[in-house]
């Protein structure tokens, strides 16, 4: 367990929060691990079962497909251009005051939100309010709903919605010229 002297300072926590936020956007498994480790909003613990039912079957892993590196780099470039996200995450924040970092975080937040609004349509996976009790019937979409906690037995499953989830309904990234090098996230600037 961490003692108070080992806990990260504000600047470190801010950097960790931004890193976790953007990693969660691009990596659903990471987001689920963050949620399941009790970081962020935590649902009330499920009551212990009175009998030990059989464990739910584990679905076979889906075949893997190669990610689109160019699209990921293009999105990162948009976050840099509109929000200076890379500049912010690469900066050593130890020399800045909390107020300076808060002001910078506001600019980064506003720019990131602008990129998401301009290039994505995003809606919640579930329409219920977080904290609502719900029942998942047999055949529910396991790609859209992840079961956490004491997952045993077969559907129907009754639980509490701890996060509504997010689904992209539209992605509209700008087209790139054939010779465009997507690895250049922000060109160097030389003032004359």
Over residues 87-125, the pLDDT tens digits come to 999 999 999 999 999 999 999 999 999 999 999 999 999
Token pair in block for residue 38: 């009790």
- Which 8-state DSSP code applies to residue 138? T
- Asked if the structure places residue 147 within a domain, the reply is yes
Burial class (CB in 10 A: 0-12, 13-18, 19+), 51: exposed
- Asked if the structure places residue 44 within a domain, the reply is yes
pTM over 0.85: no
* Per-residue pLDDT tens digits for 130-150: 999 999 999 999 999 999 998
Q: What share of the chain is helix, strand, coil (3-state, %, to 5)?
A: 40, 10, 50
Per the structure, the count of domains in the chain is 1
What is the pLDDT confidence band of residue 61, given thresholds at 50, 70 and 90? Answer: confident
- Asked if the structure places residue 177 within a domain, the reply is no
**Residue 99 near residue 11, CB atoms below 8 Å:** no
- Asked if the structure places residue 128 within a domain, the reply is yes
- Asked if the structure places residue 146 within a domain, the reply is yes
pLDDT at residue number 41: 47
Task: Calculate ∠ Cα 29-26-141, nearest 5°.
Answer: 50
Domain that holds residue 118: 8-58+69-171
**Residue 122 near residue 168, CB atoms below 8 Å:** yes
- Asked if the structure places residue 38 within a domain, the reply is yes
- For the cut 90, the answer to whether the pLDDT of residue 5 exceeds it is no
Give me the phi and psi of 169, to 5 degrees please: -100, -15
- Asked if the structure places residue 191 within a domain, the reply is no
């Amino acid at each position: 367990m961490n003692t108070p002297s080992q806990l990260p300072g504000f600047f470190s926590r801010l950097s960790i929060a931004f890193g976790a936020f953007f990693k969660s956007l691009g990596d659903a498994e990471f987001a689920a691990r963050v949620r399941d480790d009790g970081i962020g909003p935590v649902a009330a613990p499920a009551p212990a079962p009175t009998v030990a039912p059989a464990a739910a079957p584990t679905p076979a892993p889906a075949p893997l497909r190669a990610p689109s590196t160019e699209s990921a780099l293009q999105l990162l470039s948009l976050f840099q251009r509109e929000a200076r996200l890379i500049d912010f995450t690469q900066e050593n924040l130890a020399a800045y005051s909390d107020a300076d970092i808060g002001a910078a975080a506001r600019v980064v937040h506003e720019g990131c939100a602008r990129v998401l609004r301009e290039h994505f349509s995003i809606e919640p996976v579930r329409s219920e309010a977080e904290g609502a009790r719900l029942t998942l019937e047999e055949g529910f979409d396991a790609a859209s709903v992840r079961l956490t906690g004491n997952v045993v037995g077969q559907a129907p499953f009754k639980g509490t919605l701890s996060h509504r989830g997010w689904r992209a309904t539209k992605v509209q990234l700008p087209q790139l010229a054939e010779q465009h090098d997507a690895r250049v996230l922000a060109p160097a600037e030389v003032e004359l």
